[in-house]
Chains A and B, each alone.
Chain A
């Protein structure tokens, strides 16, 4: 199985901060990576697919980059509604594994 390692696991930031989350794959996955946001008690919400394509309706302050084994999710200016957990997921092969998650908390 492909392992995904996210860093950091926890992030404390303020409104307006630029935030970057990294996801590293245990083997090359081309651009077959998605990012999700999850608020407490809610289902995950798709933010980015194919490593860098913004899902319809997602604010442009979110962006993704990377290919191969290293990927990043960037929030250019953190908003109050962005305090949540974020997960990467590889869709290169089966099983469709997830990173362990990054929780973004208010400083």
Chain B
């Protein structure tokens, strides 16, 4: 069965960087784009960007262009999202999700809580 398993919660200081992993199983990792979405406490869903696991090509939301980097390691079917120069308003749950040909995000990771605090 399809699973996306994310790395655990982290606490970071302002100005630091964080790298979240998303390990895929149950399907061919390189076939579907992987997206990253975040949700601040009590807030809605915010799109960060996506990576094409086959080519490594990426596209980031303009808001995060200069701070986010998405990569992948096809040998272990894992996608990564690194966010730099963290601020307190980056405190959120970060999700990976795959988009399939039906034009929807059909499977999501369990989420990774990132807390930015001095």
Contacts and interface: CB of A to CB of B under 8 A. Distances in A.
A33 to B, nearest CB: 9
Interface string B71-103: 000000000000000000000000101010011
A100 B108 CA distance: 19
Give chain B's interface residue range (CB within 8 Å of chain A): 20 to 34
Q: Is the interface of A mostly helix, strand, loop or mixed?
A: loop
A44 B35 CA distance: 13
A46 interface: yes
Given A95-B47, A97-B47, A44 B108 contact: yes
Contacts of B111: 43
A98 B35 CA distance: 13
Contacts of B50: 94, 96
A99 B43 CA distance: 11
Contacts, number: 59
B51 to A, nearest CB: 13
25 contacts: A34-B104, A43-B108, A43-B109, A43-B110, A44-B45, A44-B105, A46-B105, A49-B102, A49-B104, A50-B102, A50-B103, A55-B104, A55-B106, A87-B44, A89-B105, A91-B104, A94-B50, A94-B59, A95-B47, A95-B61, A95-B62, A96-B50, A98-B45, A99-B44, A101-B45
Interface of B: 35, 37, 44-47, 49-50, 59, 61-62, 95, 97, 99, 102-106, 108-111
